[in-house]
Amino acid sequence: MMPLTAAQPKPMVKVFDVPMIGHILNHLKAAGVKHVTVNGHYKPEPLQEYLNTRHDLDVTFVYEEGILDTGGGLVNAVDTMPKDQPFYIINGDAYWDRAEDFVLTDLAQQWNSETMDILLLLQQKEQVREGNGDYHILENGQAERALDRSGTHMFTGIRLCHPRVFQGQTLRKFSFLELMDKAQNQGRLFGIENKGLWHHLSTPEDISDLEGLNASTAVK
């Protein structure tokens, strides 16, 4: 995402004049979420300054001193989350339109604590301009990772997760994919298909293309 990330972390890159993380916080608020934890490492000051302006939510910032990857970063922050109920985990660069505020409520409505440890939001591969086929959705609703990237769906970086998946985990550098694979092997990784559009924003050109496509989706 350079040069846009030369002086700020990727979640602070603006889409429709709003930082990416601002869109995420707006979605969370619309879904009825009250408390949000943000884990950060790279150039955290602009992110912290923005979070301090979000008086509409109870936001906790957790600093990641050394690179811990997606799994270790979550272990670093999990103590700030509920101990006995699922919570959303959202990548800091995930983007979907405000008109599609059903995304998080869809996940919540499909959640089943008896059968699930992790519920993934997946996007049909054909609906993403560039992306890999990360997962298949099986007939019983379970998600199965396609190791050869031949899956029908791409992972959006949006999911619901029960805190029990972190039991026994220590603060170390590791990928959250390790815990997703573990849940899959135990038959407790599920996926639902996103009913709307999710945008894979990896370059400044991706943002320009999105803004040129439909500027009316701005959240202000």
H or E segment and range at residue 169: none
Residues 197-220 have pLDDT tens digits of 898 888 999 899 888 875 444 332
Residues 118-139 have pLDDT tens digits of 999 999 998 887 778 999 999 9
pLDDT at 44: 92
Residue type present at position 31: A
Alpha helices, DSSP H, located in 61-165: 69-77, 102-110
Which residues of the chain form beta strands (DSSP E)? Answer: 14-15, 18-19, 35-40, 58-63, 87-90, 95-96, 118-124, 135-137, 143-145, 153-161, 189-193, 198-199
Question: Domain limits of the chain?
Answer: 10-215
Residues 5-61 have pLDDT tens digits of 999 999 999 999 999 999 999 999 999 999 999 999 999 999 999 999 999 999 999
Strand 118-124 and strand 189-193: the pairing is parallel
pLDDT at 40: 93
Homologous superfamily of 10-215 in CATH?
Spore Coat Polysaccharide Biosynthesis Protein SpsA; Chain A (3.90.550.10)
